[in-house]
Amino acid sequence: MSKSPSSGPIRSGHSRPLRRGKACSVCRMLKIKCDGAHPICGPCQKNPRSDACDWDNGQAKSKVAMLTETVETLRARIIELENPGLTTPSVTLHDPYHEFKKQRSRSPLPEPQRQTGPSTSFSPAPSSSSLPPTMHRHHFAPLEARTTSTGSSASPSRQIISRSPASSSEEPPQPLIPFLIDKFLLHAAEFGFFLDTLSFHRSTLLVKLAFGHHHRPTPALLTTAYLWGVHLLRPDTLSQVDEHALLIRALHHVVTDTLGSHPKRILHTIQAEVLLATYFFRNGRLMEAKVRLSSAVSLVLSTQMHRIRSSHYPPFTPTAIFNDTPVLPQAPEHAIEEGELINGFWTVFSLHKMLSFTLEPPTSICGALEAPGLQVDAPWPFESHDYRNGCLTPEIQGNDTIKHFLSGIPPSNRNDTSLTALVVKASILCHQATYLSGHWAPNLAGREAEAFNASFRSVDTLIDGFRTWLPQLIQSTNIATTKTIMLIHGLTNAATIKLHGIFSFSNTISNQKCVQAACDMVTVNGIDLRRLGAVNSVYGILWQMACQVFIGEISRRQSQISLLSSISEDSLRHHINLGLDAFKIFSDDCVFIRYQRLKVEEAYAALNAATTDYLSATSSLTPLTPSRSL
């Protein structure tokens, strides 16, 4: 007699086939025949598994279904926690540290800590500790992700970021947009903007067209421009626009825009990545800055932008593929668009050089743009407005541009003296000097010493020759031009300091070159820095480098190492104060500059303490001199 399923397990091989949905979850998952015996079926009894024999009888949820639902709930909760400004939490929490954060936000930065890991010595503490606390979130309906659902925020179907390209909720209020764009463009060149300013400005104000329309910038670029505008206008716009919400949206769009159909999606994504990299750099979030810049580098290399106008490779075509690498989705239609491609590559290139020598140790500053076999053929860039004037004639082509520059070969076309080209060249020299200094060691001998000396003389001669091409640094009515020329001089002086710094304590010529370059860097020929507004964040490391030269020179003199010098200690201290004054002007708005200022102040305080000890020790020996002479 057979037993009923409820009274005991059925082991007979002649049992009737089970109806659909009556097998246990384990057998269904393994796709094996289940005998339907309760509480444990035959196959599970013969082969015990960690998963219990689970039954749902086609009605209740199985264990697998419940676990799947739990996983989805947890995923939704993670998204909610990662985007606090864009979700409505299921439980509204009160911040018990509100007043503490408010007080702490007034202080510049926590004391810098020494790093012992592989991170660069110029890197501040992690962004969570080096940045001011998160600003208070204000209600800005157009940038908040809204849903019609009234259920729990943990629902995986919640729309965290609107993906509708035509959604009006993606943009700030229309009356505010012109102010944000104008403020951004006023300082855009300092943060890596390379597109044609006039065309960009016109397209951003086409607010009647849908967000993401082909006649407007891509969502990523437009959102990033808004982000910079809000950042530069704060705190005036904090009550209307949430800067953090804009950042989250920009990071979302910069990933998805390349999958769209916008005709300029590649170029605009590169521009957005550059602007995000400089935004993170300015805010002391250095790892994120490098990640964004790496994305821009990948795009310019994968689209062969380093071979624009090459004399060795064919020009761009809309659909062609050569060297197994896809080209841009659309060929440039006129000189302005082609100029944007040229300037876009060189902007990414120079920013890569600046971030490398700023954030990386000298032995690790070579990256994708220094890979063996990578030949840059793009011609030197013109100013953005020059492309409108027909400067990009057919004979302007490139051929191993960087190699020829480092070899001292003059270009065949006279397009290498624009301010944009000079910035690129100065960054190359600074990068070369940093790289070379990292390969010097006191025990170099034989061929290694000869090779180093030859490279040293070559780079030194190149830097000195490059100085003769620099425009005079004067206070111009065009503030953007003044800032660009000041950056060129600053990078050139930094190249001298990087190259000669390793010998400045033992070689008189190197010492004098370093001190003179540092003096030029902080005096800036009498330019009124307060009139400049926002500046490139790389000045943080440039002024820190100059002040360290002065501090090191004073310390060297106290150690009684005799080298000829034409500058007094009082003058050295005066120049340190000039550097600190420059820091104070810009450190309130730039976290990276603020951090470098703290490092200089700490080193200067240590020097003053050592000076006090040195003077005390010297004065204590004075009474002994007469008795010793007797």
Question: For position 614, what pLDDT does the model report?
Answer: 65
Amino acid residing at 305:
M
What kind and span of H or E run contains 322? strand 321-322
- Which has the closest alpha carbon to 348: 337, 358, 356? 356
Question: For position 148, what pLDDT does the model report?
Answer: 35
Question: For position 75, what pLDDT does the model report?
Answer: 76
The model carries a pTM of: 0.71
pLDDT at 313 over 60: yes
As a whole number of angstroms, the distance between CA 362 and CA 384 comes to 33
Least confident window among 65-69, 110-114, 149-153, 518-522: 149-153
pLDDT: which is higher, 491 or 624: 491
What kind and span of H or E run contains 321? strand 321-322
Question: What does residue 280 show for φ and ψ, rounded to 5 degrees?
Answer: -65, -40
List b or e across 291-327, with b for residues whose CB sees 16 or more CB atoms inside 10 angstroms: ebbbbbbebbbebbbbbbbbeeeeebeeeeeeeeeeb
Question: For position 329, what pLDDT does the model report?
Answer: 54
Mind giving me the DSSP string for 164-178? -TT-GGGS--GGGHH
According to the per-residue pLDDT averaged within each range, which of 432-441, 553-562, 597-606 is highest?
Answer: 597-606
Residue-wise pLDDT for 274-298, tens only, equals 999 999 999 999 999 999 999 999 9
As a whole number of angstroms, the distance between CA 61 and CA 472 comes to 78
Q: What is the mean pLDDT of residues 236-242?
A: 70
Question: What does residue 183 show for φ and ψ, rounded to 5 degrees?
Answer: -65, -40
Angle 185-478-415 (CA atoms, 0-180°, nearest 5)?
Answer: 85
- Of the pLDDT bands very low, low, confident and very high (cuts 50, 70, 90), residue 331 is low
List b or e across 561-600, with b for residues whose CB sees 16 or more CB atoms inside 10 angstroms: eebebeeeeeebbebbebbbebbeebbebbbbbbbbbbbb
CB hemisphere CA count around 263 (13 angstroms): 10
As a whole number of angstroms, the distance between CA 518 and CA 513 comes to 9
Residue-wise pLDDT for 130-146, tens only, equals 333 333 333 333 343 33
pLDDT: which is higher, 102 or 236: 236
Write out 526-589 in H/E/C secondary structure.
HCCHHHCCCCCCCHHHHHHHHHHHHHHHHHHHHCCCCCCCCCCHHHHHHHHHHHHHHHHHHCCC
pLDDT at 159 over 50: no
As a whole number of angstroms, the distance between CA 187 and CA 185 comes to 5
395 DSSP 8-state letter: T
Q: What is the mean pLDDT of residues 66-84?
A: 75
- Which has the closest alpha carbon to 52: 61, 60, 64? 64
Question: For position 119, what pLDDT does the model report?
Answer: 40
Count of Cβ atoms closer than 10 Å to residue 59 Cβ: 7
Mean per-residue pLDDT of the chain: 79
- Of the pLDDT bands very low, low, confident and very high (cuts 50, 70, 90), residue 316 is low
As a whole number of angstroms, the distance between CA 543 and CA 547 comes to 6
As a whole number of angstroms, the distance between CA 371 and CA 399 comes to 17
- Of the pLDDT bands very low, low, confident and very high (cuts 50, 70, 90), residue 621 is low
The long-range contacts involving 416-420, CB below 8 angstroms and separated by at least 24 positions, are 416/380, 417/469, 418/380, 418/381, 418/382, 418/383, 418/386, 419/383, 419/471, 419/481, 419/484, 419/485, 419/488, 420/343, 420/346, 420/381, 420/382, 420/383, 420/384, 420/484
From first CA to last CA, the distance across the chain in angstroms is 129
What kind and span of H or E run contains 326? strand 325-326
Sign of the torsion formed by the C-alpha atoms of 406, 459, 355 and 193:
negative
Residue indicated by tokens 């299921």: 90
Residue-wise pLDDT for 434-478, tens only, equals 999 888 888 888 888 889 899 999 999 999 999 998 999 888 888
As a whole number of angstroms, the distance between CA 294 and CA 274 comes to 9
pLDDT: which is higher, 137 or 239: 239
Amino acid residing at 350:
S
Least confident window among 19-23, 463-467, 607-611: 19-23
Residue indicated by tokens 């590649």: 266
Q: What is the percent of the chain where pLDDT is above 90?
A: 42
Residue 325, strand partner residues: 322
Residue 398, strand partner residues: 310
Question: For position 314, what pLDDT does the model report?
Answer: 64
As a whole number of angstroms, the distance between CA 283 and CA 250 comes to 16
Count of Cβ atoms closer than 10 Å to residue 52 Cβ: 14
pLDDT at 215 over 80: yes
CA-atom Rg of the chain in angstroms: 32
Question: For position 7, what pLDDT does the model report?
Answer: 42
As a whole number of angstroms, the distance between CA 280 and CA 266 comes to 21
Amino acid residing at 201:
H
pLDDT at 429 over 70: yes
Question: For position 334, what pLDDT does the model report?
Answer: 81
Mind giving me the DSSP string for 72-128? HHHHHHHHHHH-TTS---SS----TTHHHHHHHTTS--PPP----SSS-TT--S-HH
- Of the pLDDT bands very low, low, confident and very high (cuts 50, 70, 90), residue 598 is very high
Query: What residue spans of 154-218 are helical by DSSP H?
Result: 177-187, 197-204
CA of 178: how far to CAs of 142, 173, 236, 244, 478, in Å? 16, 10, 15, 20, 22
- Which has the closest alpha carbon to 406: 469, 463, 450? 463
- Which has the closest alpha carbon to 304: 281, 332, 262? 332
pLDDT at 92 over 80: no
Mind giving me the DSSP string for 366-377? --GGG-TT----
pLDDT at 622 over 90: no
- Which has the closest alpha carbon to 349: 373, 381, 318, 372? 381
196 DSSP 8-state letter: -
Mind giving me the DSSP string for 442-488? TT--HHHHHHHHHHHHHHHHHHHHHHTTPPP----S-HHHHHHHHHH
Residue-wise pLDDT for 336-384, tens only, equals 999 999 999 999 999 999 999 898 888 778 877 878 778 898 999 999 8
